[in-house]
Every structure is written in C-alpha cells, then in structure tokens.
C-alpha cells in the first residue's frame, strides 16, 4: 500500500474512533448527564478538525499552512481538555471511551506530522504565505463525506437529544 493509502486508512480509523466515541456517549446517556455543555464542546472540536481538513484541501503546501494546522491541533487539544471537564463528575467515562479519547487526542498531531513529512523541504521553499491551490474534487469528496457520515451526523443526533433533554 502506498504512503497515501496508509494515511487515508489512518484517517478512516480516526473517524471510526470518533463514531465509536459518539456510541459511548449514547450508552452513557450524555443528553441527560453532561448534556449541552459537553455536546457543544464536541461541536467545537469537530469544527476545529474540519477547518484543518478544509485548509489542507484548499491551500498549497507551505509554512503558513503548517503553522495554521499546528495552531488548530493545539486549540483542539485545549478544547479536548475543556470537553473532559464538561463530562467530569456528570457522566461515567468507561475505559473504552478513555481509550477512544486517546486516539482522538493524538490523531491531529499524527496528521500534522504526516503533512510535515509529505511536504518535506517544499514547505520552507513555499514560504509563509497561504496560497490557494484546491485539491481535486475527488479528494474533497473522499475526505469530507466520511466525517459527515461518521461524526457530524452522530453529533447532530447527540446535540438534538441534549436540546430535547434540556427542555424536558
């Protein structure tokens, strides 16, 4: 398998961990425990990761892109901590869910490392400017459809259930 194939398999594995994490949230009744507070943090984390994927798809390799991706990964780590605080003492987090969180926490950094390795010396040569260079439509579809199905739709379901539980 090519390096790109391995990277895509890792990406799908990361998304599968996210899907399984949402299944754990349902199992531990997130809507009636940590509710909107935690589900909102999930939206923040999804938005940060989505912004990183969109940036990678839209911009040419360069130091500016790498810095942007690194900042998004850092803010995602902070949001992950706040997410844990939202759940702490309100909802049981099982060992399986803790393990899934370890995958979800490390994946942005692994993805950043993969981008750095793939760019090699090209990033330094391209400089700091963010220059539009959109990827092919097929790559956009391959990188955006799976997270919509595996993470965004489950989050929408979770958020809606938390809204209903709050109104009850």
Query: What is the tens place of the pLDDT at every residue in 79-133?
Result: 999 999 999 999 999 999 999 999 999 999 999 999 888 887 677 777 889 999 9
Query: What does the pLDDT read at residue 168?
Result: 65
Residue 34 to residue 91: CA distance in whole angstroms: 6
Nearest to 159 by CA among 78, 20, 42, 79: 42
Residue 154 to residue 36: CA distance in whole angstroms: 14
What's CA 114's distance to the chain center, in Å? 15
Instruction: Say how many C-beta atoms besides its own lie within 10 A of residue 48's C-beta.
Output: 20
| Residue whose token pair is 């750095």 | 116
Query: What does the pLDDT read at residue 116?
Result: 87
What's the pLDDT tens digit per position in 29-69?
999 999 999 999 999 999 999 999 999 999 999 999 999 99
Which pairs with CB-CB distance under 8 Å and at least 24 residues apart come from 147-153? 147/15, 147/18, 147/46, 147/49, 147/50, 147/53, 150/15, 150/16, 150/18, 150/19, 151/15, 151/18, 151/19, 151/22, 151/46, 152/46
């Amino acid at each position: 398998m090519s390096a790109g194939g391995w990277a895509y398999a890792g990406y799908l594995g990361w998304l599968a961990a996210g899907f399984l994490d949402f299944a754990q949230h349902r199992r531990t009744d997130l809507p009636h425990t940590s509710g909107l507070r935690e589900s909102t943090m999930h939206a923040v984390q999804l938005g940060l990761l989505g912004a990183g994927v969109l940036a990678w798809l839209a911009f040419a390799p360069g130091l500016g892109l790498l810095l942007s991706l690194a900042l998004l990964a850092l803010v995602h780590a902070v949001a992950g901590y706040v997410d844990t605080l939202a759940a702490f003492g309100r909802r049981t987090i099982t060992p399986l869910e803790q393990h899934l969180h370890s995958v979800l926490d490390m994946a942005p950094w692994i993805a950043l490392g993969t981008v750095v390795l793939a760019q090699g010396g090209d990033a330094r040569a391209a400089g700091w400017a963010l220059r539009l260079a959109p990827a092919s439509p097929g790559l956009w579809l391959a990188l955006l459809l799976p997270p919509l199905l595996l993470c965004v739709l489950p989050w929408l379901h979770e958020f809606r259930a938390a809204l209903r539980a709050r109104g009850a």
